[in-house]
Amino acid sequence: MFRIIIYNLFFLLIFFYNILSVNTVPPIIDIKSSTETAIVILDPAHGGGDFGVNFQGVYEKDITLKICKLIKKKLESSNPKISVFLTREGDEYKNKDDRIMFSNNKRANIFVSIHCDFIQNPHVSGYKVYSMAGKELTGKKENSELIKWDDVHKYHIINSLKLASFLHQYLQARLISEDSTLTGNENDDVLPFLSRGTDIAYLYPLIGLDMPSALIEICNLNNNNDVEYIKNSQVLDSVAYHIKEGIINFLNFINQSNEGIDEK
Ligand SMILES: [Zn+2]
């Protein structure tokens, strides 16, 4: 869970953005040949005395750490040119500013924060991907400009939207399973979670990040089905696989486009 301030002016954009991004199954790209060196930060939300949300003995801080460790392993084994860092390695408390400074000091290319939701309506199920909103949609850095901590994310708004879109597409996608022992339709890796779409919001955990960033709410811990699925280690592995594919294909897309990774 995190603190959100939705900007009313973005409602129309959100509507069209969701229409365009739902039910799109992207092509699988050869990840081994095209991705240049990149630094990825994964942020397992909460930790230590900050448990996050919990239900039926399942704690958000544990789920987020497990998923991030799985994504890191999959990213680094997929492409040795990708370096992955976690904002916390164990069950420890790190405040928001420590996580942001750590990521900015690494001069990372992207930042993905992993959370679990707790929505009062227990019938709501599934994942949602957020990217950062701002008072301005774009900005251009001047060399001599001193940029305020709270404003730096605005220079990455467009690529953050793209990152969220890629993550959402690959969470929805029917992927070829990593488990080669499966045959037939079982070879398709499809998440058991529903999509709750994408959204843009003023995301407290992402304020101050000098890189494209996104935040994923994996599931609703107040939904019985979601809780049962998230307790299953195979489902966690599958979630990590889908997020890994989203990250890899976003990096490929950025490298192949004229824009490249955002300047530091
Ligand atoms: Zn959270």
Lowest average pLDDT, out of 27-31, 136-140, 157-161, 209-213, goes to 27-31
Paired tokens of 7: 């900007």
Q: Where are the domains of the chain?
A: 4-256
C-alpha 52 to ligand 1 mean position (Å): 5
Number of residues that make up the chain: 264
Ligand 1 mean position to 217 CA, how many Å?
8
Distance 41 CA to ligand 1 centre (A): 17
- In sequence order, which residues have a C-beta less than 8 Å from that of residue 70 and are 6 or more positions away? 236, 237, 239, 240, 241
DSSP label of 242: H
Structure tokens at 188: 């398709």
Residue 154 C-alpha from the chain's centroid: 18
The Å distance, Cα 213 to ligand 1 centre, comes to 16
| SS3 category, 226 | helix
Ligand 1 center to 261 CA (angstroms): 27
Q: How far apart are CA 220 and CA 225, in angstroms?
A: 9
The alpha carbon of 216 and the centre of ligand 1 are apart by a number of angstroms equal to 9
For residues 220 and 226, give the distance between their C-alpha atoms in angstroms, rounded to a whole number. Answer: 6
Q: What is the pLDDT of residues 129-158, one digit of tens each?
A: 999 876 554 555 555 455 566 677 778 888
Name the nearest CA neighbour of 215 among 24, 42, 8.
42
Tell me, in angstroms, the distance from the centre of ligand 1 to residue 30's CA: 33
* Contacts with 202 (C-beta within 8 Å, 6 or more apart), sequence order: 4, 5, 6, 7, 132, 133, 134
Cα of 236 from ligand 1 centre, angstroms: 17
pLDDT, residue 188, reads 87
Phi, psi dihedrals of residue 171, rounded to the nearest 5°? -65, -35
CATH topology of domain 4-256: Aminopeptidase (3.40.630)
Q: Which of 188, 162, 160, 165 is nearest to 175 (CA)?
A: 188
**How close is the Cα of 34 to the center of ligand 1, in Å?**
33
Q: How confident is the model at residue 109 (pLDDT cuts 50, 70, 90)?
A: very high
Is pLDDT larger for residue 88 or for residue 135? 88
How many A from CA of 205 to the centre of ligand 1? 9
